[in-house]
Chains A and B, each alone.
Chain A
């Protein structure tokens, strides 16, 4: 790790809310997307000439299409409930990282152009025109929001800053002012099928290599099939699982679980990505196009079930939006969705999370587990924001908190939760979600991880925790990078199925 060019916050015994430090993060500027990146996904290559007019038109368009955007811009009373809830504010003290102030950047312009008070009494209600300075502020600070929704838990009206951020990013994209990292990835998934731009043959090689590794390790031939027609299960997982550490350990875990359950399964080279960065830029069409790849793969392969690997925002999109976007779910009566829904096995939820799947097998005693294999680990669980606040697992509200923890407790002996106000729906973002997992935002990522790092420190010191499990590819990548800044070992973070993988006992095939 090179010496950072910024001051890494110190971890405090008792977490504190910082004083407001105006402009503390004004210098942060995520790389702007160039023309080829923008044009590849249907946006203007550079800032269009009449950008102010176009931006206001786009805002009007979104106000007519999204009730959330319209209601949230009107309903805020500046009560301040959200001001100390954002991890980026807590880590930086920059007031524009308070959710209300972040919203206000768009709200001021909304007032000016779309409300009576703002049109006639702009000073009174703090309305402003969309100047170049304001536009740049949008770019700076909407690229400092990970769309984690923590603020929406505490807002008395449920105002979700993520909705405002997504709308702002959609406006910025539509006038040619997109962010490089996110838009480049969207281009890759649309062109190649996954965020890493890993083509089919390379994927096949990788999977074969993993099969060899597992056999060398366990003596058992565990398969990782690709494009297998007629398989029971289609597994859609974040592409990071194919070769990033520690992600790949969880992929090995899924394969072992399917193997032990004796269920035929397959990955798809057409839909080799669960992640859907279309969510981050709030663009319905983009999000839908990416989701349609999963539908096409499921129809093509003729699978009965669709299971999603460990990925936070992917699970939100899969659980909450796939039925809407691509008819992957149940309860449809239109021909488009019925086509796929008739093919899927109605006895299982569609889509299903890999944790729901494994939990069911564990409960039924299908998997043979040796818990002591995880005895070298003292484990805690980091709830990923999109799973915690934008989705569910199982039959009951809050199942997304219970099921991963139950799995951990069924495969390991040592488990401790972090403090109550830092887990479940109050969980803190890892600091790298929402399209911010890029090196040009490293200062933001390190500072934004502060609240989670403080909570982690307390269980490390108090309960000797040495492993933080999580079910999100972004969380895993972010923590691997950020943990060392705070003096932790980068290998402390890993997946829930990494733990399953360690404990599962495979039978030699006859």
Chain B
């Protein structure tokens, strides 16, 4: 067992812990913070079922972004859709036997990597070309795009330029999951790819990746529009009535 394998095993355990516990804490924190007033952006659904559909449309179609700007929607949608396929494709490294759906999307997932890169490229270009978006972009916005792009490019590199031993990669990943560490291939592209992914996982709960849980907790989207029919009082506001 090489020192590098042990280092990467530790890295992945640490990154997973940071992502799971960090995100878990954030979700707990959002859930426990009250929303004292009914503030759905109207017109809004009047029932919980309607709210589920509204959030579904936001998650699956990026409905509001579509209304806002077509260019950002196109690049954002290509990137996120491609990323979803790529992630699904990678599920094969974590299971044996592999789900049918994961097996079926393998060829699509492969080309989706290019979609990711194109989407990210478009999103990044906006940060330079549109003066308004340039004004609001911070260093971390650029670094996030760089990180995702580098992950995509190193992944593509392993598939099309310098193959790595994916059977060994799978053994390493499955070993991590069963706390039975297996040696990993030490190709530079793989090391870079895995290191960057671990970084992405680690910064999840402390970066703008919080837009993912944020969407589900956004009161303007997740509240039903029924304030006249149901009295709605948060715990701290109810205390005012006891005075």
Contacts and interface: CB of A to CB of B under 8 A. Distances in A.
A319 B227 contact: yes
Nearest to A100: B136
Nearest to B44: A397
B96 interface: no
A67 B135 contact: no
Contact of A123 (B130, B133, B139, B221): B139
Interface in B129-169: 130-133, 135-141, 143
Contacts, number: 228
B35 interface: yes
B136 A78 contact: yes
B137 A156 contact: no
24 contacts: A67-B219, A68-B39, A68-B219, A71-B218, A72-B214, A77-B208, A81-B65, A81-B69, A98-B136, A152-B41, A153-B41, A154-B68, A157-B214, A158-B219, A159-B218, A160-B39, A321-B37, A332-B231, A334-B233, A349-B228, A389-B42, A396-B46, A397-B42, A400-B43
A320 interface: yes
A502 B231 CA distance: 38
Interface string B31-52: 0011111110111111000000
Interface of B: 26, 29-30, 33-39, 41-46, 58, 62, 64-65, 67-69, 72, 76, 126, 130-133, 135-141, 143, 203, 206-208, 210-211, 214-215, 217-221, 225, 227-233, 236-238, 240-241
A323 B68 CA distance: 33
Interface in A264-279: none
Contact of B231 (A63, A81, A331): A331
A321 B137 contact: no
A184 interface: no
Contacts of B30: 67, 70-71
A390 B38 CA distance: 9
B237 to A, nearest CB: 7
SS class of chain B's interface: helix, strand, loop or mixed?
helix
A126 interface: yes
B42 A71 contact: no
Interface stretch (A4-12, A82-90, A200-208, A236-244): A82-90
Contacts of A72: 214, 218
Contact of B41 (A71, A80, A324, A389): A389
B143 to A, nearest CB: 7
B135 A101 contact: yes
Nearest to A335: B241
A93 to B, nearest CB: 10
A149 interface: yes
A20 interface: yes
The residue in A320, A331, A349 that gathers the most chain B C-beta atoms within 10 A of its C-beta is A320
B83 to A, nearest CB: 14
A446 to B, nearest CB: 22
Contacts of B133: 78, 80, 83
Interface in A146-164: 149, 152-160, 163
